[in-house]
Amino acid sequence: MIEYITSNFIDFSVKTLSTSEKLRGFSRLHGKRGMADIRIFVAGLILVGVLLVALMLYRKSRKWKEEEISKDLFDKSLERLALNAEESQLLLDIAKGSKLKKIDSIFTVSRAFDQGSSIVMKRSFSKGKTLVERKHLNQQIISLKEKLGFKEKAAVHSPDEYSFRHKGLSSRQIPVGRNVLISRTHSKDAYPVTAVVAENSHFELKLKTEDEFPGKPGEIWRVLYQLGAVLWKFDTLIVSCENRELILSHTDNIRFINRRKFVHAPVSMHGYVARFQCGKTVEDAVNDILPQFIAARITELSGPGLKIIAPLKVRTGERILVIFELSPNRIIQNAAEVRRCENDKDGYVIVAEMIDISEACINELIKATNDAVRGIVAKEEELEMQKQIEEQEQHELLQN
């Protein structure tokens, strides 16, 4: 009871004190030690703030230094390529549009160049440039891309489908009069528009459509071109679309999709392989002017695909020359691109695909593959039939 009365009295006394009286009581309670703790806490906060500011300034200065180094490398590359003032400014705008951290990387990153070019073209269209000005800008970008060496693409294979970006393919190779499909890149519900190639020059691809084109200049659209069993797919920029005529920018970034599915047939064919050596020196050409062919054995056929066993070590992506007898009096000789190379007891197992072959030759290889499969199936059926006959004969002997 006494403790309850005492605690209530203390609470009431504290509540009746003014703010200044409470502060004086707090300072008397802690004394000099409390004030020293407060000063240390405040000093710690100030020190942390100073360190944060110093860190921010260091990062800023480091970023400025990296940008300065990148700008110097960019300027030196401009001098090396001997670009004029207009081309230099255009390349700088493309580098800024690509959002690269280091603008000097625009000389080596082809994809960044394409992205930056699209941004520059879109900005130009948004400013209401005339068709002549758009064409001039498109021609400048193409010329600049060629000067930077962004022309041919290395093959990039996809593990999920029989497709890759084919080396050397370009939208400039689509013949006049061929049909193409064109659709929006980021719309799954958009209906593709059918068009005919009316003109294909070095700087632009001109299409004609039967209906009004729903797109606008500056937009990115996707073009599909069917060539036999092969489908070309690429994204392009709309330069102009008037009176059912489209003018598209060219691209070398073609995705090559082979829509055929080839079965794998075991075979046994004799052949020869050699390295496909390009760009030999003068001494090498004099001493070794002809390819050095090595005896090989074709163990599997899959349309244009081959499995080869030979004492030749090659790298993935390397090209080789292949000669083999597909059938009596029919010799196949062609270049092939290595997909895989593994060690084997008889040398190396090379999985390769023949490239740049005609549609007729592909059909012939498919026929040979199917014939080999049918031969294997017929042999298996014959063995199965022979086995059943032997089992029937044994059963009859046991009954007798």
For residue 341, the model assigns a pLDDT of 92
What is the full per-residue pLDDT of the chain (400 aa) written as tens digits?
545 545 554 454 555 556 666 556 555 555 555 566 677 877 888 888 888 888 888 888 787 777 777 788 888 877 787 878 888 888 888 888 887 878 778 887 777 887 788 788 778 777 766 777 777 787 788 888 878 777 544 333 333 333 444 556 788 888 899 888 888 876 655 667 889 999 988 888 899 988 888 888 878 888 888 876 677 888 888 888 888 888 888 887 787 666 556 778 888 899 999 988 765 554 554 455 678 899 999 999 888 889 999 999 998 888 899 999 888 888 888 888 898 899 888 889 999 988 877 767 777 887 787 777 777 767 777 777 777 777 777 777 777 6
Task: With respect to residue 14, please indicate whether it lies within any of the assigned structural domains.
Answer: no
pLDDT the model gives residue 173: 86
Residues 142 and 53 in one domain: yes
Model pLDDT, residue 346: 80
Looking at residue 311, its pLDDT comes to 92
Query: Do 243 and 220 share a domain, yes or no?
Result: yes
End position of a domain, from candidates 258, 274, 293: 258
Nearest to 273 by CA among 229, 311, 220, 234: 311
Asked, for residue 6, whether it belongs to a domain, the answer is no
Dist CA 147 CA 214 (whole Å)? 34
Residue 20 counted as domain residue: no
- The identity of residue 211, as a single letter, is D
Give the separation between CA 67 and CA 95, rounded to whole angstroms.
Answer: 13
In the listed set 258, 285, 319, which residue is the last one of a domain according to the structure?
258
Q: Quote the pLDDT of residue 152.
A: 44
Kindly report the CATH number assigned to the domain that includes residue 342.
2.40.10.220
What residues have CB less than 8 Å from 269, skipping those under 6 apart?
Answer: 297, 298, 301, 324, 325, 326
The structural domain count of the chain equals 3
Q: Has residue 22 been placed in a domain?
A: no
Question: Do both 248 and 350 map to the same domain?
Answer: no
Containing domain of residue 305, as a range? 265-380
pLDDT, residue 288, reads: 59
- Per 3-state DSSP, what percentage of the chain is helix, strand, and coil (rounded to 5)? 45, 30, 25
Residue 222 and residue 321 in one domain: no
